[in-house]
Chains A and B, each alone.
Chain A
């Protein structure tokens, strides 16, 4: 487990890229693809290497009316899982 730090800059991993538009928007990576919707999409579209983990969490806390600590935990867990699969880096 390697959770992102507040100052981490989450970004799509090498060779991972977006494809398609709207409902059919997907992340493509070696030998796999991920259809991202709703919160997953909201997180990943901010993973551009420009926003810090802290900024991403704050933006999502403003976007969703859920418990702030839970949002932070969910985003960290989501990014950690995708990093294990080499879909994001931070």
Chain B
């Protein structure tokens, strides 16, 4: 039997005061007028609770742009969901934070664009850094779990030690250091964002040292750039296996980027219950399981671990959504990734050979225990 999704990612709006150069939202955004109503979202979170979903991630855009956010948190809490707010912090006043916490919010993930104000504001296209820094102590005191998220790339990866020290000063429970993933705006701006091999190797050492120093105080989750990995990431824990995303207009997608794959029809929560979509929607079944897999995935020992990598990345790089993710060193189209790495590394003279499975060293692999589940609510 198909298990329930672990988490529902609710992109409640595409509206956002930031304009980050690596935004994971689709290039074609949903207009405010087409957003689901409060009643629609409340029905969706109630259905999620009944379906057995554990976590709700309120995301966007900037979820605080919705004035009914507290109401949605309340409904999610009542439905038994563990509720996370993924935010830039813009729009989070002390009183609004207090309302959200009282409504049952469990976790806030505050994103930063770097540790240096000018650079960070450049990335976001707006002056947001100082405000985020002021918010951190309020969130720390609020009693919810507190994660800081830093997106890293070629322009700021050299300051990683400084970023970690800055993060430490804000006292989160958890720090996520996520390399840009190359979808949407990230792919458009890849030439400026893809780090060098030297930067990636240095960052692995910095993170390993910080993990040791901060053990027990601040957990670090690092997402390396998959272009440098030997094997692909187990994107979203497998297509239609663990996560479900609802976009602002109510379309249900297996991941953030799935809209780029031609020919997929996404069913809407306006027309179908969540449970039906999870089990029956053709888009969720499209790459579920192994029957769609080409060689070398089909006979690969790792197919149950990484599921052939990311379908969206396969499409974006090769034009074929059923191809082996080109970041895999075994992929027939791996030369596409190698060519990019050669370009970015040519000035440094280092070879583009894959790192020795950096994600195996960098990232805590999910425990083999069937009782321990962890996942990322983002690509990667």
Residues of chain A at the chain B interface (Cβ within 8 Å) = 1-2, 13-17, 19-20, 26, 28-37, 83-86
Contact = CB atoms under 8 A, between A and B. Distances in A.
Interface residues of B, number: 27
A37 B370 CA distance: 12
A13 B372 contact: no
Nearest to B144: A15
Interface in B210-253: 215-216, 219
Contacts of A37: 371
B186 interface: no
Given A16-B145, A30-B147, A31-B376, A36 B82 contact: no
Contacts of A26: 54
Contacts of A28: 54-55, 82, 106
Contacts of A13: 145, 173
Nearest to B106: A15
Contacts of A20: 80
A58 B375 CA distance: 35
B9 to A, nearest CB: 11
A76 to B, nearest CB: 13
Contact of A30 (B84, B215, B372, B373): B84
A36 B376 CA distance: 21
A2 B145 contact: no
Given A14-B146, A30-B107, A32-B373, A83 B216 contact: yes
Interface string B366-380: 000001111111000
B101 to A, nearest CB: 11
Nearest to A32: B374
B216 A17 contact: no
Nearest to B221: A31
A86 B80 CA distance: 22
A30 B376 CA distance: 10
A83 B7 CA distance: 23
A19 B54 contact: yes
B145 to A, nearest CB: 2
Given A32-B372, A84-B215, 11 more contacts: A2-B215, A2-B216, A15-B144, A15-B173, A26-B54, A28-B82, A29-B82, A29-B145, A35-B372, A84-B216, A86-B145
